[in-house]
Structure 1
Amino acid sequence: MKKLILSLVVFASVLTACKSEKKEKVEVKEEVVVEETVAAEEVALDNVNVETSVLTWKGTKPTGAHEGTVALKSGSLVVEEGTVKSGEFVVDLNTIKCTDLGDSEYGQKLIGHLKNADFFDVEKYPTSKFVITSVENKDDKLAVTGNLTIKDVTKSITIPATVSEENGVVTFKSDKFNIDRADFNVKYASKKFFDNLKDKFVDDLVELSFEVKATK
């Protein structure tokens, strides 16, 4: 009996550990409406350094994972006395790279697939963007809420981030966060859209993180 109880305790511990490692996606809400006059003034600032700013990504499937980067096309970031007032980051989806495969034949094939109509449909939707709508201090970090647009869908999400400043350069750096691509109408090999995929599915959760550098 003691052995049985000990086995059950060990099994429960393993289950608890597995649950703690499970990915959690950011909460998705309806788009937050921003006043056009304020947004237009901030976008015109365009002070983000697109050469040193980047969006990183990681996607997984039953047989493994791939990760990479996407460059920013433009953006603005307004910071006053260490507080983020506003920001907009426009991501250039034509610059998608897969860093773990590099320029290999399979790497090029994967990038082509990600750009195709059955995934991000880059020809029709060449950019995505994240527009900051509010910022709160929470647990020694910033809880940054913004409208994330992918394809023809815009949703409000909140991500943890930090802001630092050195020699007139402001760095906005988010923690890694997971979005559900199905929320943004990215359907390829998603179990939310297709049945009987068995082990041929691609996980709906995609890990992202921003590192954006801007001049004051």
Structure 2
Amino acid sequence: MKNLKTIAVALVAFVSFTANAQTKKINVSKSGIVWTGKKVTGSHTGTINLQDGALVFKGKVLKGGTFNVDMTTINTTDLKAGQGKENLDGHLKAEDFFGVEKHKTANLVFKNISGKGKGLYTVTADLTIKGITNPITFDITVKGNTATTTLKVDRTKYDIKYGSGSFFSDLGDKTINDEFELKVNLAW
């Protein structure tokens, strides 16, 4: 009987939470992701598109989020056609980087959110790239109908070791940083 009471209380709490929760679907055409990868001799930047996503709020408080990224849209923006853009885009999509032929999407699912005040939250989420999932922690700022964040991702945790000084010696100026950065702007 005690277990039945506990289950009933949990069910009421869950229904109460979901009844008050609002899911805000991300407008992918008004949102964007800019990536930056660095190497010893410089850096490259580009864009990648959100496929879909949503943030969950209870009142004005952020409670959850889920996002899917279309990995086939990796696009280098700091190089022009004929200046290596095609080669870099192709290499980033190849198996020794993101392997987009087999892994067309990457996703991020919020697992734990703690408020820091004034629309700022610390989020721990599961990030899946190339079918490999690892936790990642970052801050996100929510203001009105927008949210912004910057994520630093260690690519080697997702079996992306090409040019990594952590796995290969004698790379010299061909060494590529293990971390890349994603600047994310969301609108709904």
The TM-score with structure 1 as length reference comes to: 0.71
Show the counterpart of 2:12: none
Show the counterpart of 1:184: 158
1:1-216 paired onto structure 2 within 5 Å: 47-138=25-116, 140=118, 141-165=120-144, 170-174=145-149, 176-214=150-188
Aligned counterparts of 1:57 and 1:158: Cα–Cα separation in 2: 17
1:188 CA drift (Å): 0.7
Paired letter, 1:173: T
Measured against aligned partners, the alpha-carbon deviations of 1:120-146 in whole angstroms (never above 9, x if no partner) come to: 101011111111112112275210111
Aligned counterparts of 1:83 and 1:127: Cα–Cα separation in 2: 28
- The 1:82–1:102 alpha-carbon spacing in structure 2 relative to 1, beyond 3 Å, is farther
Query: Contact 2:24–2:56 (CA<8 Å) still a contact in 1?
Result: no
Measured against aligned partners, the alpha-carbon deviations of 1:94-129 in whole angstroms (never above 9, x if no partner) come to: 111112114444112110110001111010111111
Aligned counterparts of 1:124 and 1:137: Cα–Cα separation in 2: 37
Q: How many corresponding residue pairs?
A: 168
- The 1:196–1:183 alpha-carbon spacing in structure 2 relative to 1, beyond 3 Å, is same
Measured against aligned partners, the alpha-carbon deviations of 1:9-63 in whole angstroms (never above 9, x if no partner) come to: xxxxxxxxxxxxxxxxxxxxxxxxxxxxx9xx9xxx6822111122211011111
Aligned counterparts of 2:107 and 2:64: Cα–Cα separation in 1: 14
- The 1:66–1:156 alpha-carbon spacing in structure 2 relative to 1, beyond 3 Å, is same
Query: Contact 1:70–1:93 (CA<8 Å) still a contact in 2?
Result: yes
Aligned counterparts of 1:104 and 1:137: Cα–Cα separation in 2: 47
Secondary structure of the residue aligned to 1:94 is strand
1:69 CA drift (Å): 1.1
Aligned counterparts of 1:86 and 1:139: Cα–Cα separation in 2: 16
Aligned counterparts of 1:147 and 1:84: Cα–Cα separation in 2: 17
The TM-score with structure 2 as length reference comes to: 0.81
Paired letter, 1:110: L
Secondary structure of the residue aligned to 1:199 is helix
Structure 1 spans left out of the alignment, 5+ residues: 1-37
Secondary structure of the residue aligned to 2:176 is coil
Aligned counterparts of 2:25 and 2:153: Cα–Cα separation in 1: 27
Task: Give RMSD over aligned pairs.
Answer: 2.2
- The 1:136–1:197 alpha-carbon spacing in structure 2 relative to 1, beyond 3 Å, is same
Q: Percent identity?
A: 39
- The 1:102–1:163 alpha-carbon spacing in structure 2 relative to 1, beyond 3 Å, is farther
